[in-house]
Amino acid sequence: MPARRLLSPRAPRRVATVSVHTSPLDQPGAGDAGGMNVYIVEVSRRLAARGIAVDVFTRATSSDLPPVVEMSPGVTVRHVSAGPFEGLGKEELPGQLCAFTAGVLREEAQHEPGHYDVVHSHYWLSGQVGWLARDRWSVPLIHTAHTLAKVKNAALADGDRPEPRARVIGEEQVVAEADRLVANTEEEARQLVDHYGADPRRTLVVPPGVDLDRFRPGDRAAARRALGVPADAVVLTFVGRIQPLKAPDLLLEAAARMLGDDPALRDRLEVHVVGAPSGSGLEAPRRLEELAVRLGIADRVRLLPPQTPDRLALHYRAADVAVVPSHNESFGLVALEAQACGTPVVAADVGGLSTAVDDGVSGVLVGSRDPAAYAAAIRAVLARRPLLSAGARRHASAFSWERTADALVAAYASAAAEMAAGAAPVRRERALGALRPVAGTQVAW
């Protein structure tokens, strides 16, 4: 953990972090747990290292869960009972927001007024809760969307369900109410302004980070021995939840194309898929296995469960190329983690991936959904791997969770100062109306 830092006079003492639908204690790569979980865990730990206490409110999904868990020193996870513990899908959670909000407000009511200095909500469901807590406690609301319904609906995978209108309306309301909107990239900031009418003056760009101590270059041969991978294998690795949005099928199709173009590669090629079915992927949990059989590459594909962070670093080091073919990503932490390990990335040229990957320096961005284009990009990376590997590590080293936490603390402090001075912007009843240009959004670092 980073060394404890002295607080500035305006830094908050305690942050209420709201994550309704997924807990920072969950294993990323399965269910609803993914990059957002990693974000909350890493940021919370670094805020605590600065002497800022963090309470993370999340919905209890089992009667066996204790009400309070110390995740790490200074970071407390509070399980709020709201609806049935199990069998409740994310799409059903809006009906439990009243119960969840009551649990959050009751916890604060046990303390003296001013117990929390700021609310930071993650995802739109949490934003609805944070909005009410902000008004009740008279503290600023900082909101990070992580994904946006309008953006997802514009880039749906075949057969995937669009996000419901209720979510769109909920996001519009949160955007209108938040004191600060934290976007992962300038592209996401533009999306908030262009699609949701966000006020650029309240919209900050704060890139996520990567744990450069855990995800670092290492002995590739040793990593392969630890994973049982032949030393001369050509390893293509996908890490993430198995669902249409993440498009692991595109990697399998590209691998089949590579074998069709070069049959001699068959004895060496390995495709590693690390993750578990999630979201709409649960409707056909064996779809990827069946696709591998149809493509004739089942013997070249290894389907692996979600991994612990240390084990995941081994998979990145063992890989020749990490492939991130998502239809959309607000950022793409997997791409950053792989590059931090010195593994170049082939990724879709969408959303935050165009920031997470430095095209031609740390990997290759692909602007097509054609498997042949991915096969060509993978071959290009393999041909230049030593150079791209060095570029990958350099690019990843520009991102750190320490810098992310510093920028968030500054956002908390400035929002609190505005609120104290009575200078918070006038809010609209609805997040609809004239859209503003993106000019004026702030890049926090």
Question: Which residues, 6 or more positions from 343, have their beta carbon under 8 angstroms from its beta carbon?
Answer: 237, 316, 317, 319, 320, 321, 322, 389, 392
**Residue 36, marked binder:** yes
Q: What whole-number distance in Å separates Cα of residue 14 and Cα of residue 114?
A: 9
Q: What whole-number distance in Å separates Cα of residue 152 and Cα of residue 168?
A: 11
**Residue 412, marked binder:** no
**Residue 360, marked binder:** no
Supply 417's token pair: 């100062």
**Residue 307, marked binder:** yes
Count, residues in the chain: 445
**Residue 167, marked binder:** yes
**Residue 339, marked binder:** no
Supply 410's token pair: 């500054």
**Residue 110, marked binder:** no
Closest CA to 220 of 342, 304, 310, 303: 342
**Residue 28, marked binder:** yes
**Residue 246, marked binder:** yes
Q: What whole-number distance in Å separates Cα of residue 211 and Cα of residue 337?
A: 8
**Residue 317, marked binder:** yes
**Residue 33, marked binder:** yes
Rg (alpha carbons) of the chain, rounded to whole number: 22
Q: What whole-number distance in Å separates Cα of residue 13 and Cα of residue 238?
A: 40
**Residue 106, marked binder:** no
- Long-range residue pairs from 216-225, CB within 8 A, at least 24 positions apart, any chain: 216/313, 216/340, 216/341, 216/342, 217/317, 217/341, 217/342, 217/389, 217/393, 218/313, 218/317, 218/341, 219/317, 220/317, 220/318, 223/314, 223/315, 223/317, 223/318, 224/318
CB 18 within 8 A of CB 121: yes
Residue for token digits 């249409």?
A: 244
SS3 of 159, please?
coil
Q: What whole-number distance in Å separates Cα of residue 42 and Cα of residue 215?
A: 13
Residue for token digits 């009972």?
A: 81
**Residue 116, marked binder:** no
Q: What are phi and psi of 363, to 5 degrees?
A: 165, -160
**Residue 276, marked binder:** no
SS3 of 342, please?
coil
**Residue 147, marked binder:** yes
| Three-state secondary structure readout of 241-260 | CECHHHCHHHHHHHHHHHHH
Residues making up the binding site for UDP-N-acetyl-alpha-D-glucosamine: 27-28, 35, 241, 246, 307, 329, 337
Residues making up the binding site for Mg(2+): 316-317, 319, 343
Residues making up the binding site for 1D-myo-inositol 3-phosphate: 21, 32-37, 90, 123, 147, 167
Residues making up the binding site: 21, 27-28, 32-37, 90, 123, 147, 167, 241, 246, 307, 316-317, 319, 329, 337, 343
